[in-house]
């Protein structure tokens, strides 16, 4: 038994994952913990790091599986494009699940972000984006009801609010995005089929139309290992 179980464990697990063919199941947690001489809690702690890298996938009731090398979704931040567009550009196939469309009234936060009054009618669209069947992103868009109605979404909506608005002919100018990181809440963890507290990359952004009105307030949660976001920065002076 080492003095630094966690670091040894990460190395051991890394080796095990490398040696295991893609798609195959790893031994169960109690079994692995026993084999590697650590407690299940420590094992799970280490396993989380591999899940956020997209190397394994854990499914309650069925097991932990090694994930084959998947191509990450790669995009520059200067240009706003939907995940669908991004995937198409890279020749990948993604799908949408858990689509939920729900009218609601603006609370204080949403009212401020959207430039409306508290109580204004809104439409909230949530969905999970999957690549290779694996959930990789959870998206929540909230729009004023005069921009998007429930009926609109019933037809011609394929998962991207941005693409829907553009195809409809809306004139959109820019998006102001904020970049952060957080641990998954219970809600997001469930949607992405990960553990509560797992590391996520988080964007929250406002989409502006030609009149500088906010037409969409958007929250995005990404499993880090499946995305490469980059930006070219000018040296300032």
Q: Which member of 14, 16, 49, 63 binds DNA (CB under 7 A)?
A: 63
In a 3-state reduction of DSSP, which class is residue 69? coil
Taking the CA atoms of residue 44, residue 50, residue 55 and residue 61 in that order, the dihedral angle to the nearest 10 degrees is: 20
Using CA atoms, how far apart are residues 147 and 232, in angstroms rounded to an integer? 32
Q: Nearest distance from residue 60's CB to DNA, in Å?
A: 4
Q: Which does 161 bind (CB under 5 to 8 A by kind): DNA, a copy of itself, none?
A: none
- Size of interface with DNA, in residues (CB under 7 A): 29
60 touches DNA by CB under 7 A: yes
| Chain residues 6-35 in contact with DNA, contact rule CB under 7 A | 6, 26, 28-31
Does residue 58 interact with DNA by CB under 7 A? yes
Report the 3 state secondary structure along 113-171.
Answer: HHCCCCCCEEEEEEEEEEECCEEEEEEEEEEECCCCCHHHHHCCCCCCHHHHHHHHCCC
Cβ atoms of 114 and 214 closer than 8 Å:
yes
16's tokens: 């095990």
CB atoms within 10 A of CB 52: 19
- Binding at 201: pick from a copy of itself, DNA, none (beta carbon under 5-8 Å per type): a copy of itself
Which residues here bind a copy of itself, judged by CB under 8 A? 4, 6-7, 41, 45, 48-49, 52, 77-81, 85, 162, 166, 172-183, 186, 196-197, 199-202, 205, 207, 222, 224, 227-237
Q: What is the largest CA-CA distance in the chain?
A: 65
Look at the block and give the residue holding tokens 């941005």.
162
Q: How far is the CB of 193 from DNA (least distance, A)?
A: 7
With tokens 């499914």, the residue in question is 59
Say which entry of DNA, a copy of itself, none residue 77 contacts (CB below 5 to 8 A, set by partner kind): a copy of itself
Residue 56 CB, nearest approach to DNA (Å): 9
Partner touching 91 among a copy of itself, DNA, none, CB below 5 to 8 Å by kind:
none
SS3 35: helix
Does residue 134 touch DNA according to CB under 7 A? no
* Shorter beta-carbon distance to DNA: residue 13 or 86: 13
Q: Which residues bind DNA (CB under 7 A)?
A: 1, 4-6, 26, 28-31, 37-42, 44-45, 58-64, 186, 189, 194-196
């Amino acid at each position: 038994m080492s003095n630094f179980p966690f670091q040894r464990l990460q190395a051991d697990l890394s080796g095990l994952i490398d040696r295991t063919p893609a798609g195959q199941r790893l031994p169960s947690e109690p079994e692995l913990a026993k084999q590697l001489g650590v407690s299940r809690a420590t094992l799970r702690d280490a396993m989380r790091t591999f899940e956020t890298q997209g190397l394994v996938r854990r499914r309650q009731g069925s097991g932990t599986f090694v994930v084959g090398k998947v191509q990450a979704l790669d995009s520059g931040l200067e240009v706003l494009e939907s995940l669908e567009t991004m995937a198409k550009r890279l020749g990948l196939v993604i799908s949408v699940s858990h689509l939920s469309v729900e009218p609601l009234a603006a609370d204080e936060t949403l009212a401020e972000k959207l430039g409306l009054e508290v109580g204004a009618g809104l439409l909230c669209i949530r969905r999970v984006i999957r690549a290779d069947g694996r959930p990789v992103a959870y998206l929540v868009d909230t729009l004023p009801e005069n921009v998007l109605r429930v009926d609109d979404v019933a037809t011609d909506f394929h998962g991207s609010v941005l693409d829907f608005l553009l195809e409809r002919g809306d004139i959109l100018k820019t998006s102001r995005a904020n970049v952060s990181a957080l641990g998954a809440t219970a809600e997001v963890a469930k949607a992405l089929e990960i553990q509560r507290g797992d590391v996520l990359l988080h964007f929250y952004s406002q989409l502006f139309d030609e009149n500088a009105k906010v037409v969409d307030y958007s929250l995005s949660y990404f499993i880090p290992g499946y995305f490469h976001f980059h930006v070219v920065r000018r040296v300032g002076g």
